[in-house]
């Protein structure tokens, strides 16, 4: 075998700009609003479900209540994570480079090639446009 085709990671980074920071803040706020809506929906449905369950079977009430609390707890954890992410976005400094995604590139390597030059590949974006390739 003289050559091999490999998939190597490529880190996508973005330079923080006012537009990017604003977009990121709006995305986090939108996700926070969705979590809040889901929490309100659970509260509303919980009252109805619990009263129905109490009429049908009092024994099932305990497990239903536990299931509702578990769902609420998951949403509260997600809300806490999003709140921390929101704070992190607010603290980003203009010009700072942040990791945004990871992709792969396909490369053909031969005996004697330096594999390290493919392993640390990065693409730098500014407002969605590629401004640099790095190895």
Taking alpha carbons only, the member of 101, 99, 102, 135 closest to residue 116 is: 135
User: What mean pLDDT do residues 5-18 have?
Assistant: 95
CB–CB of 73/51 below 8 Å? Answer: no
Which pTM was predicted?
Answer: 0.74
For 112, left (φ over 0), alpha (ψ -120 to 50), or beta?
Answer: left
pLDDT computed for residue 131 by the predictor: 95
pLDDT digits (tens, 9 = 90+) for 36-91: 999 999 888 887 877 776 677 766 677 778 888 899 999 999 999 999 999 999 99
């Amino acid at each position: 075998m003289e050559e091999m085709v490999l998939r190597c990671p490529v880190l996508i980074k973005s330079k923080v700009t006012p537009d990017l920071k604003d977009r990121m803040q709006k995305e986090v706020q939108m996700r926070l609003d969705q979590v809040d809506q889901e929490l309100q929906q659970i509260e509303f449905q919980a009252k109805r479900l619990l009263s129905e369950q109490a009429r049908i079977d009092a024994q099932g009430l305990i497990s239903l209540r536990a299931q509702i609390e578990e769902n609420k707890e998951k949403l509260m954890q997600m809300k806490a994570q999003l709140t921390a992410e929101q704070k992190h976005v607010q603290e980003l400094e203009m010009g700072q480079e942040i990791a945004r995604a990871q992709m792969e590139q396909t490369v053909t390597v031969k005996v004697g090639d330096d594999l390290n030059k493919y392993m640390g590949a990065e693409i730098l974006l500014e407002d969605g446009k590629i401004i640099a390739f790095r190895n």
